[in-house]
Amino acid sequence: MENKKLTKHTISVVASLLIATNLYSTEQLSTVTVTSSLIETTEKDATYTTEIYTKQDIEKSKSKDVYDFLNSQTSVTINPSYGNTFTQLIDLRGYGIGSGFQNVVVSVNGRKLNNIDLAPQLLSSISLESIDKIEIIKGSGSVQFGDGANAGVINIITNGKNQNYIKTYLGNNGTKNGTVSLGYSNDNLILNAFLDYTSTNGTRATSDGSKDEKRNKNKNINLIYFPTDDLELRIGRTYSNMDIKYAGSLSLDEYKANPNQSSGFTEQIFKSYVTDVGATYNISNNYSFDLNFSDENKLSEYSSGFSSIYDYKSFNSKFNIKQDNYKVAIGVDGFNGDRIGSSDTTTKENKALFVSGEYNLTNDITLSAGARKEKVEYTYSPDSGTELEDKLNLNAYDIGINYKLNENSSIFANYNRAYQAPDIDRFFASTYVLSGGSYIKTTTFNGFIEPAKVNNFNLGYTNIQKNNKLKINLFASKLRNEIYYYKVGFTNRNTNIDKSYKYGLELFDKYLINDNLYASLNYSYIIAKIDEENESDGAYNGKDLPGVSKHNVTLNLGYNINNFKTVLSHTYRSSAYAANDFENDFSQKQEAYHSTDLSLSYDYKNFEFFAKVQNLFDEDNALWIRDDAVYPTNFERTYYAGLKVKF
């Protein structure tokens, strides 16, 4: 029987040494294994669209955090959530910057980060330095993750033995960072510990000189134990503590005059405690069993006095069958989430069964299929008043085929059925009434709106050579009851778009020009349309979904010689309608986004010296919500420099 324990240790240690000591004299491109899907495969053999970034890709970018990396290196669109840079808005494949984050699942080692309310995923709780790989699966993933995987899944993988190092950097605006990473392993044990702290004095200021200062501290410890060659036991604990001040919107004139200004700040304290427990047992060479449990407790508290306590518990198990010409995964998922407010408790509970299989029809043809059945239950329990309940039964399907054209290239086609159950905030509407010279907010029950359902169609081509990696994908998505939020006058409302659709082209190419020089391109063309929306009496019919850029580009040019590395990158997103402009008639549009970044690094023995300039040409960038509601983002040149010492 293969010694799984030693195999895993050997791969982990050798890979770490190769990266740490830079033994590769010339880079070569190769097929990367997709490890976060239900059934492990390679990007060349996958029956769905993949976009994969290794630890080397992440390290070369010299990005500050996960949001920075996704925004500047991938096809994912990122924007601060109404000025909040710690819980930023995410969009993939044209669901809009307003609600896109609820249509993509973000997971860390299989644990979903999606919330039960309108709060975006908290990627600031993950240190970029701790990540081994990021796998983006587009237009698929609903069989594995279910609720919310309409656009796809962003899988973040941190498993493996950490390097031992200390890292620090300093930048403008009083930016400071310190990171300590420790890892130890032997034949029976892998132990990791991680501490990361970042703070900044901020970029926007009030008339009295107060600024939007921020701090973020993440701590993590993980233990993997192999009592036998066939059994792996895992336990981990993560703690995050964030204190952030973020500024409100500006009018267009204020933004043009001085994007650094602010009339005041919202202050939020956020704490998160996560405990993960898991096990993998290899029954034989052909059968294995995975079991994972997670307990997360969060506190969100604002300076206004409003606070919420979250209690999330999730469970999943999977039975794996692996034969010579087929693989099967069968499992169950469970999630229970409570949000305890000052006057109510709201619960969302998910239970699911799933099965997924892959069959090698011939040496060149791979077929895949999967299904998921999920039950979602809601309970709203006010401290006074009537308790409300609702139940949903939802189904996901996935069918794909991959055909190898030759040793280096393949084509694939995929159909995926996905869904999004409404979050708990979608059931309420807010109205502001003028009383005594000020507006009083009144919240009323909006009704249990419909879940969104989408049919995804994908067609792709992959070609991987030693010096070039090319991926071309065509996609189309047909939706019913796409969920959205709009504001009309003094009423905020959540409702459904009856029919909508999206289609587009995705292109990725990385080319090694010579031993020292490489270039990469990531381009997506997206059309997102509202087909039919009855609540607006047809006013939105045929309109573009707001907050979606048609053209999205990230370009990279990298140069490596001896121990010196430099990367010049540019991110561009074309103009779009403001996030609330469903009728496409606001006088102000979302302006095009431009940012050019330059990073430099030099390795000397166990020391790495690095520096980066972001938004090199000092471009003005912002998020438009509506007329004269402009939130500046990445609107000035920033820079930082630091040192990493390995031991």
Asked whether the predicted pLDDT for residue 14 surpasses 70, the reply is no
Confidence tier at 4 by pLDDT (50, 70, 90):
very low
Closest by Cα among 194, 105, 121, 120 to 158: 194
Q: Can you give the pLDDT at residue 443?
A: 67
pLDDT tens by residue, 42-80: 999 999 999 999 999 999 999 999 999 999 999 999 999
Asked whether the predicted pLDDT for residue 19 surpasses 50, the reply is no
Q: Between 486 and 413, whose confidence is greater?
A: 413
Confidence tier at 538 by pLDDT (50, 70, 90):
confident
pLDDT tens by residue, 309-333: 999 999 999 999 999 999 999 999 9
CATH code of the domain in which 419 resides: 2.40.170.20
Rounded CA separation 218/243 (Å)? 12
Q: Can you give the pLDDT at residue 226?
A: 96
What range does the domain containing 494 cover? 4-646
Asked whether the predicted pLDDT for residue 195 surpasses 50, the reply is yes
Q: Can you give the pLDDT at residue 122?
A: 92
3-class SS letters over 475-530 = EEEEEEEEEEEEEECCEEEEEEEEEEEEEEEEEEEEEECCCCEEEEEEEEEEEEEE
A 10 A CB-CB count for 45 gives 18
Asked whether 265 and 212 are in contact (CB, 8 A), the reply is yes
Asked whether the predicted pLDDT for residue 17 surpasses 70, the reply is no
Q: Can you give the pLDDT at residue 389?
A: 87
Asked whether the predicted pLDDT for residue 22 surpasses 50, the reply is no
Per the structure, the count of domains in the chain is 1
Instruction: Return the sign of the alpha-carbon dihedral for residues 469, 156, 75, 170.
Output: negative
Q: DSSP per residue over 310-348, as a string?
A: EEEEEEEEEEEEE-SSEEEEEEEEEEEEEEE-SSEEEEE
